[in-house]
Amino acid sequence: MSELKKIKSALISVYHKDGLDELITKLDNLGVKLYSTGGTKDFIESLHVAVTAVEELTTYPSILGGRVKTLHPKVFGGILARRENKGDIAQLAQYDIPEIDLVIVDLYPFEETVASGATDADIIEKIDIGGISLIRGAAKNFNDVVIISNQGQYNSLIELLKSGNGFTAIEDRRRYAVEAFATSSHYDSAIYNYFAGDWPDQFRQSFNSAKHLRYGENPHQKGAFFGNFDAMFDQLSGKEISYNNLLDIDAAVNLINEFTDTTFAILKHNNACGCASRDTVIDSYLAALAGDSVSAYGGVFVTNGTIDKATAEEVGKIFFEVMIAPAYSSEALEVLKSKKNLIILVRKNVDLPTLQYKSVLNGTVLQNRDQKQETADDLQPVTKIAPDAQIINDLLFANRLVKQSKSNTIVLAKGKQLLSSGVGQTSRVDALRQAIEKAKSFGFDLNGAVMASDAFFPFPDCVEIANNEGIMSVIQPGGSIRDKLSVEYCDNHEMSMVITGFRHFKH
């Protein structure tokens, strides 16, 4: 540690006062001279601690309804002055500007105000001007000044003051400056995204909380998650969540969001290897497991129903890594927690962001989340034979799975149960053949099953192969100039086909 500097004066202007009292008391005990404004000054005085009003320092009152309080050379001069620069120190003396060694700011709660549904006028008033300027000024001059830029740092400063008896090292000041610039950039990003609306012209995304992972996709890669995982889940037990766990959890949440019926899904490497909708969670699980009991090993399990003891005992018969559900019975938790390292997540009712983005080349691609969920009203029968109500239910079920599987994708389903799928293939024909072979390997009868595709059929080869296996109904987005060839084949072989008009590629 080097370049120790003593804190002799502090400017404090915060929105949140919780936890501030202990910090004020510690500064007072160290003999630090305090400057403050408005409600913060009143709070300090309520602790019977001496404080000088910023208005007394600047000789200007707070004006424009509080919009201008600290924006003055006598404030920013004391913050930005370089203590080793003789010219700066001479000017401080010339204009009677005191040095300010510590700045404590907690910004107006802009994001919380937006989230509350406040009016545009109220939101704009929560755009902090003086506070953000103080943060940037103090952070820039971290060589001489300590900047505390949010309420979450109050306790760490208290500990630093105790251990250093009011002295700080350059390493501490630089660390706080880094956090300060993170605070200011996040704040500005939130303001920009509010004004930009649903579709921004510039890409600005920011997350304050970072979860450092053991590694990335592979052990030789670093990994971290930026976001608020705890806002979406309560983790009740299990090991630390990995990078690959997060990808599978994301895929599981996106898939289960497609269903309103009681449904259970099993995922492996971001794709469903089992999925079924039944009247109960346990029956849904057993039907899902039947789709691929081999791939289920080490998978991620997800349901939109409550896990009871019977279901917990059933799923506990095999090894899997993650269980996601909105609720668990106490008996179920007792069973599941006995499984070493099993990650048990309670999903909260939180909506996913409407924008998706990922790193590509030397930039970022952005898109709206695919929130289209086809219903029976969206289906356009294009063959002489129209599917009945039961077949339509299966077609919609299969289409939901296609939407959340890696392209090229073919899904085979019957009775609201995933029989098999071919995913991530370069050829749709190969995807279908993979699905057929897999379904047969698990003993499924494909007669009466339905087939879903994530994109159109440029040739009738897939419907011909499907027909040869007894599959009698097809759902696809359509849009090919050769759609009529597949339709003609279906008509000639007493098959039904419906067009959705919506392609669901997923990479």
Active-site position among 269, 337, 440, 493: 269
Please give the distance of CA 350 from its chain centroid, rounded to a whole number.
10
Count, in order, helices (H) and strands (E) of the chain.
19, 25
The residues near 294 (Cβ < 8 Å, ≥ 6 apart) are none
Neighbours of 146 (CB within 10 A): 26
140 an active-site residue? yes
Question: How far apart are alpha carbons 158 and 505 in whole angstroms?
Answer: 53
Q: Is the peptide bond before 408 cis (omega within 30 degrees of 0)?
A: yes
Q: Which residues pair with 6 in a beta bridge?
A: 167
Whether the Cβ atoms of residue 183 and residue 149 lie closer than 8 Å to each other: yes
Beta bridge partners of 365: 358
Residue pair 266/275 in contact (Cβ under 8 Å)? The answer is yes
236 three-state secondary structure: strand
CB 325 within 8 A of CB 307: yes
Q: Which amino acid belongs to residue 232?
A: M
Which entry of 140, 309, 337, 493 is annotated as an active-site residue?
140
Closest Cα partner for 99 from 110, 115, 83?
A: 83
d(CA 196, CA 205): 12
Q: What HEC string does 357-420 produce?
A: EEEECCEEEEEECCCCCCCHHHCEECCCCCCCHHHHHHHHHHHHHHHCCCCCCEEEECCCEEEE
φ, ψ dihedrals at 202, nearest 5°: -120, 150
Reduced to 3 states (helix: H, G, I; strand: E, B; else coil), residue 20 is helix
- Is residue 147 within 8 Å of 156, Cβ to Cβ? no
- Cα–Cα distance between 9 and 100 in angstroms, integer? 5
AA letter at 349:
N
Q: Nearest Cα to 373, choosing from 496, 256, 249? A: 256
Q: Please give the positions annotated as active site.
A: 140, 269
